[in-house]
Structure 1
Amino acid sequence: MKDYDKIIEKCGIEQQLELKDIPEIDLYMDQVIQLFEKKFEKAKRYDDEKILTKTMINNYAKGKLFYPIKNKKYSKEHIILISLIYQLKGSLTIKDIKSILGPLNKWTSEEDFPLDDFYESYLSLANNNVTYVKNNIMELNKDVKNKVTSISEEDSHYLEKLLTIIAFVQMSNMYRKIAETLVDEIKEEKVQPDK
């Protein structure tokens, strides 16, 4: 498999909602949905897939995954929190997301917490992760080719893809398990803002 750059582009893993993409004015729910749909369109696996819906946002609000909105409008901070929820929900349960974002929500709603700075740190790490993945894909590809060649020349294309898929899923499971362990530590610590 040689076209990993095309695959990475196709699956949209480089797409992030940047701070410059978020208006300084508060947005209605439909505007928030449009913002996410436009930004993460490449991340869709299927054309009819929805990135964000009214039901999702209402469930996040009811579940207290972000602090209450005012006048049916979402602030820049709400949109940042929704973006973090969007990133987390692929691997963590809503219950876990609520527990780890709880302190951040409280700080953001009650104090002058630098949520923009925190989000910029996340975006920087996300960009570094894309570079890391691209570099590791090349190494994995070499390793897969060596293993497949020793099994079967005839079915090598299929076997390369299959072995690569299994390797990616296994890595994903390892990272998810590590994240869940860190979530459990946060739950046990009962994080409180410093006074």
Structure 2
Amino acid sequence: MDAADKKAFASEFYNRQVVLKELGWKGQRKLAKSKVAVVGVGGLGTASSLYLALAGVGHLRLIDQDTVETPNLHRQILYSLDDLHYPKAEVAAERLEKLNPLLKAEPISENVNAGNVEKLLAGVDIVVDGLDNMFTRYLLNRTCVKLGVPYVFGAAIGIEGNLSVFAPPETGCLECLLPNLSDNDLLTCDTRGVVGATPG
């Protein structure tokens, strides 16, 4: 699409959204210029990235080292049987760009660790946590505090979920709210289970 085609498409695609006085075209243009990192493209990450893409976020960086497996399919809404054993980040990026051709989806099939986390989060406006382990969540949290990037934390298990947004120094951080947790302290989808709709 050239610039004129993109403008015409955006005018129609976002028609029902820009009539909101809280958003309008000014807000829509701000969304289009934004860059969001979604770390973990599983249950929470697929739901989050889908709605961010359709809302008009211009650039999504999708970070996940895993591949699509059958037990994922009941709750990870961007994947199908055809995607089994393919990298989640790549499948999600392709699917999201088909749903919104104005989006740039950047797949990164890497494990987040202390050696690469700053590089992976460089240049983003906000980080969405779709992870399932506390070690990496704390690493993301510390990095977001250091970089001054807002951090969205979510969790879904069974039929319950929670969501918190951290933007230090205006707010506390994840470790302020949940200090000293280990993965052994947490229930998992493997052990506790999860209803397919809970992450959404």
Higher strand share: 2
Higher helix share: 1
TM class by smaller structure: under 0.3
Larger Rg: 1
Higher relative CO (CA 8 A, sep ≥ 6), structure 1 or 2? 1
Could you state the TM-score of these two structures normalised by the residue count of structure 2?
0.24
